[in-house]
């Protein structure tokens, strides 16, 4: 398959993730859309690694997954901590710092 097909799929998945972050109010669904964006970029990396027969793309995907795992752990802990105080996960209701 030509490389541009994979890149196009990755771009469309990324755009779907962006739409999810902008359109949803539920903080957990926003977080899942961020994970979708990260995965779209992973697909780009692996596609380039296969196209140029270079292993660096796959190794970078490894590190992206490490960072995504760490981010999910801390982010979900944050959401749980906020829920304990505010009793809501909807981002437009968590506006204590706004006048």
Partner 1 sequence: MSISIQQILFYMFAGVALLSGILMVAHRNPVYSAIFLIVTLFALAGFYVLLNAPFVAAVHIIVYAGAIMVLFLFVIMLLNLKRDPIRERGKFARRTFATVLVLVFMVEIGALIAASFFTATSDRAIGEMIRGAGSPLVGLHNGAPPDSAAIGSTANIGRQLFTTYLLPFEIASVLLLAAIIGAVVLAKRQLVT
Rounded to a whole number of angstroms, the minimum distance from the CB of residue 34 to partner 1 is 11
Q: Is 97 in the site for partner 1 (CB under 8 A)?
A: no
Q: How many residues bind partner 1 (CB under 8 A)?
A: 70
CA distance 32 to 24: 11
Which burial class, exposed, middle or buried, applies to 21 when counting CB atoms under 10 A from its CB (0-12, 13-18, 19+)?
middle
Q: Is 91 in the site for partner 1 (CB under 8 A)?
A: no
Give φ, ψ of 90 to 5 degrees: -85, 125
Could you say which residues in the range 10-39 bind partner 1, by CB under 8 A? Answer: 11-20, 22-26, 28-29, 31-33, 35-36, 39
Rounded to a whole number of angstroms, the minimum distance from the CB of residue 4 to partner 1 is 5
Q: How many CA atoms lie within 13 A of 28 on its CB side?
A: 9
| Residue (of 44, 94, 37) closest to 71 by Cα position | 37
**Footprint of partner 1 (CB under 8 A):** 1-9, 11-20, 22-26, 28-29, 31-33, 35-36, 39, 42-43, 46-47, 49-56, 58-59, 61-63, 65-74, 76-81, 83-84, 89-90, 92
């Amino acid at each position: 398959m030509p490389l541009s097909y994979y890149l196009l799929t990755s771009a469309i998945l990324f755009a779907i993730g962006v739409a999810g972050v902008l359109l949803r109010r539920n903080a957990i669904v926003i977080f899942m859309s961020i994970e979708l964006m990260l995965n779209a970029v992973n697909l780009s990396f692996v596609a380039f690694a296969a196209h140029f027969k270079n292993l660096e793309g796959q190794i970078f995907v490894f590190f992206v997954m490490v960072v995504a795992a760490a981010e999910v752990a801390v982010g979900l802990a944050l959401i749980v901590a906020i829920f304990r105080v505010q009793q809501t996960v909807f981002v437009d209701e968590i506006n204590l710092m706004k006048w």
